[in-house]
A and B are shown apart, each in its own frame.
Chain A
Amino acid sequence: MKTITANRLVDGDVVWLGHNGEWVEFVEAAWVLGSDEDMTKALEFAKAGEEKQYVLGTYAIDLELKDGHLQPKSLKERIRAQGPTTRLDLGKQAERHLRSA
């Protein structure tokens, strides 16, 4: 399982590619690419996102299911998806908490 990630140009925030070519702020909303066709289409969206100056540095990452939840496979990507492991009040983990509160 893969998805595409990037940083948003204006603020550097971590984003992932959504199903319709939009960029989403939480990894659980990312488009899970199931086939080569998906990947081809996703890469086109990614290129368009860069050309529109919305995101920069797009690349594909591996995802895995852990305890029924989708998460990036590598520690680095998990930290990007959550925030600093030493500051739970910062990054996505804090924003997610705020939104659900």
Chain B
Amino acid sequence: MYRYDEFDRDFVNQRVTQFEDQVRRRMSGELTEDEFKPLRLMNGLYLQLHAYMLRVAIPYGTLNATQMRKLAHIARTYDRGYGHFTTRQNVQFNWPKLSDTPQILRELADVEMHAIQTSGNCIRNVTSDQFAGAAADEFADPRVYAEILRQWSSLHPEFLFLPRKFKIAITGAEQDRAAVQVHDIGLQLTRNEDGEIGFVVFVGGGLGRTPMVGRKVRDFLPENDLLAYSEAILRVYNRYGRRDNKYKARIKILVHETGLEELKQDIETEFEATKNGILNLPNEEVVRINEYFAPPSFDALPKISTELEAAKREDRDLALFSSRNLHAHKAEGYTSITISLKPIGGAPGDATADQMDVIADLAERFGHNELRVTHEQNLVLPHVKLQDVPTVFKILKANDLADSNAGLITDMIACPGLDYCALANARSIPIAQEISKRFEAVKRQNEIGDLKLKISGCINACGHHHVGHIGILGVDRKGEELYQITLGGSADQNTSIGKIIGRGFPEAEITDAVETVVDTYLANRLDEEESFIDAYRRLGDQPFKDALYGA
């Protein structure tokens, strides 16, 4: 993992001291709310429906046991005993007092964490594959480049007042688990014919009220041009991005309005002026940062663990867990475990302080002290010996953390919605809970197979509904919550935006509607191997429309 050097430490501590003073001045009236708001947002502090909300950055979703314990401590001491893991691989606390936030940030700084650039019109937390550095199908660790981008973008003086927020995601495997094509910049690590490392670059992806799939601007960007090219994109955006209308201010609108070819030319012109200068990525720096992410020393183990196989034969629940929540690891005899934060009837992404402590212990005892947050609001132990899986499973089970539903219909993304969020128009969590309960039966969930269901409580699409195989968008129609269904979205290497299937459904009918969609898929799929999204792409929306609204 990346470790702070003295510059990082000084910088974060200075920032806490600065914020402490800003809070003091706000409380004494020296600063008005209009003056203070941009300052608190730059430190991740929002005001939501019931209280303030603090969003803490978890760079590229990687953290260690000490950091997780600190999050548990903050949840327990300053909040209401839980935290909410988000689609941006961050964590949010829903009830902190303004007067406590400097102390919370001070405590976070003690464990090399902060809330800088988790809000505001700046470059946000760079997100990545939750299995980075562990996945069998990966050919380079994307976190190395995510860290380089983090260092470049932290307090970058030119890019702190962009037209709008700016999100970057990076993946190091062919299978895109980081949704890179729905980010302002999406990077896919690749190699050219000479075996050199570089990036496929997408620009202008995004969700929100105008969802767009990122457009490819480079098939191969050499590794050492990463920062110069990113800077060129940001400069073009900063200069030409619209500041007159916040709903048209994201780079996707600029791509759309300017046209891809012209914008590509603008970027290349800017890049010509920037490249081979100070931003040229020095090889020794890449090597240095690579060392921070050096994999732990793995034991030489057999590919198949006889202990695990025997335990699976004895315990059906463990067998089921292993079939859904283990991900193939690059080291033989190891696996990555997904800890589902989607218990049946629970709030997606929530974990209690006690659960966080348990997970921290597991990371220390069995996982080389590493944890990940996924953009699908789960947690991951990236490096666990297969032979330890039965023990880990047992501990997870004792702490209500052993749901074997990774990638299934009940493993859904949902934003906080109107239960917490000041922007929301409708509630998301109760809808997620109802659907989760409806599909509780293990056999049925597994029969349905891989299915990504995503729920947003407003058009800002924090719940990624546009890229759900089944997406649900909550809207407010004359004071009533109404839920629209979109079908056919996807956020992997074949990214697509879902299509609205027809009129929306009231709260009392949305779960039935989802069930109708699922039953239609089951009745029409070629065989068990054909997933929901494949079946939808083959069938189109007509059978689903007919089933929902009558032929």
Contacting pair B419 A85 (CB below 8 A): yes
What is the distance, in angstroms, from B454's C-beta to the closest C-beta of chain A? 18
Residue of B nearest to A78 (CB): B418
Answer whether residue B543 sits at the interface, using C-beta atoms and an 8 A cutoff: no
Q: Does the CB pair B47–A75 fall under 8 Å?
A: no
Chain A residues contacting B114 (CB-CB under 8 Å) are: none
Do B29 and A53 touch (CB < 8 A)?
A: yes
The residue that B98 contacts in the complex, of A12, A73, A79, A83, with Cβ under 8 A, is A12
CB neighbours of B20 from chain A (8 A): none
Name the contact of B429 in the complex, choosing from A9, A57, A80, A86 (C-beta under 8 A): A86
- The yes or no answer to B190 lying at the interface (CB within 8 A) is no
A residues 71-101 with Cβ under 8 Å of B?
73-76, 79-80, 83-87, 90-91
A53-B29, A75-B418, A86-B433 known; A10-B97 Cβ under 8 A? yes
Chain B residues contacting A53 (CB-CB under 8 Å) are: 26-29
Given A14-B49, A52-B29, A84-B50, 6 more A-B residue pairs with CB atoms under 8 Å apart are A7-B51, A10-B27, A12-B48, A79-B49, A86-B347, A87-B419
Which residues of B approach A to under 8 Å, CB–CB? 26-29, 33, 47-52, 80, 95, 97-99, 347, 418-420, 424, 427, 429-430, 433, 476, 479, 481
Q: Roughly how many angstroms separate A91 CA and B49 CA in the complex, as a whole number?
A: 10
Beta-carbon contact of B49 and A90 below 8 Å? no
Q: Which 9 A-B pairs have the closest CB atoms?
A: A12-B51, A84-B419, A11-B97, A12-B52, A53-B29, A86-B429, A56-B33, A80-B49, A10-B99
A-B contact pairs, 20 of them (CB 8 A): A10-B97, A11-B52, A11-B97, A12-B50, A13-B50, A14-B49, A52-B29, A53-B28, A56-B47, A73-B479, A76-B49, A79-B49, A80-B50, A84-B420, A84-B429, A85-B419, A86-B419, A86-B429, A86-B430, A91-B50
- Nearest to A14 among chain B residues (CB) is B50
Instruction: Give the contact-size bracket for chain A.
Output: 20 to 34
Point out the residues of chain B lying under 8 angstroms from A87, CB to CB: 347, 419
Residues of A within 8 A of B97 (CB): 10-12
Do the beta carbons of A12 and B418 come within 8 Å of each other? no
B430 engages A75 (CB within 8 Å): no
A13 contacts B51, C-beta separation under 8 Å: yes
A47: shortest Cβ distance to chain B, in Å? 13
Cα(A52)–Cα(B347), bound, Å: 38
CB pair A90–B99 under 8 Å, yes or no, is no
CB nearest to B28 among chain A residues: A53
> How far, in whole Å, are A40 and B464 apart by their CA atoms in the complex?
43
Tell me the complex Cα distance, A79–B50, Å.
8
Contacts of A7 in B (CB 8 A): 47, 51
In the assembled complex, the CB of A97 is this many whole angstroms from the nearest CB of chain B, namely: 15
Contacts of B29 in A (CB 8 A): 52-53
Cα–Cα distance between A57 and B433 once the two chains are bound (Å): 32
Report yes or no: A85 in contact with B50, Cβ–Cβ below 8 A: no
Residues of chain A within 8 A of B481, CB atoms compared: 75
Closest residue of chain A to B80, judged by CB? A90
User: How distant is the Cα of A10 from the Cα of B98 in the complex, in angstroms?
Assistant: 5
* Across-interface contacts of B49 in A (CB, < 8 A): 14, 76, 79-80
Chain A residue with the shortest CB-CB distance to B424: A76
Contacts of B424 in A (CB 8 A): 76
Q: Answer whether A79 and B26 are a contact pair too, CB < 8 Å, given A10-B99, A57-B47.
A: no
With CB as the reference atom, state the residue of chain A lying closest to B53: A12
- Inside 8 A of B47's CB, which chain A residues have their CB? 7, 12, 56-57
Contact partners of B479 in chain A: CB under 8 A: 73-75
The answer to whether B26 touches A9, judged by C-beta atoms less than 8 angstroms apart, is yes
B429 to chain A: closest residue by CB: A86
Contact between B418 and A79, CB atoms less than 8 A apart: yes
The complex places the Cα of A13 from the Cα of B420 at a distance, in Å, of 13
Taking the closest CB of chain A, its distance from the CB of B490, in whole angstroms, is 28
Q: How many Å lie between the Cα of A85 and that of B481 in the bound state? A: 14
Contact with B along A41-62 (1 / 0, CB 8 A): 0000000001011001100000
From 12 to 41 in chain A, residues with beta carbon under 8 angstroms from any chain B beta carbon are 12-14
Nearest CB of B to A44, in Å: 18
Contacts of A57 in B (CB 8 A): 33, 47
CB distance from B10 to the nearest CB of A (A): 30
Q: Which residue of A lies closest to B34 (CB)?
A: A56
Which residues does chain A contribute within 8 Å of B52, judged by CB atoms? 11-12
The CA of A73 and the CA of B479, in the complex, are separated in Å by 9
Chain B residue with the shortest CB-CB distance to A94: B80
CA distance A90 to B52 in the complex (A): 14
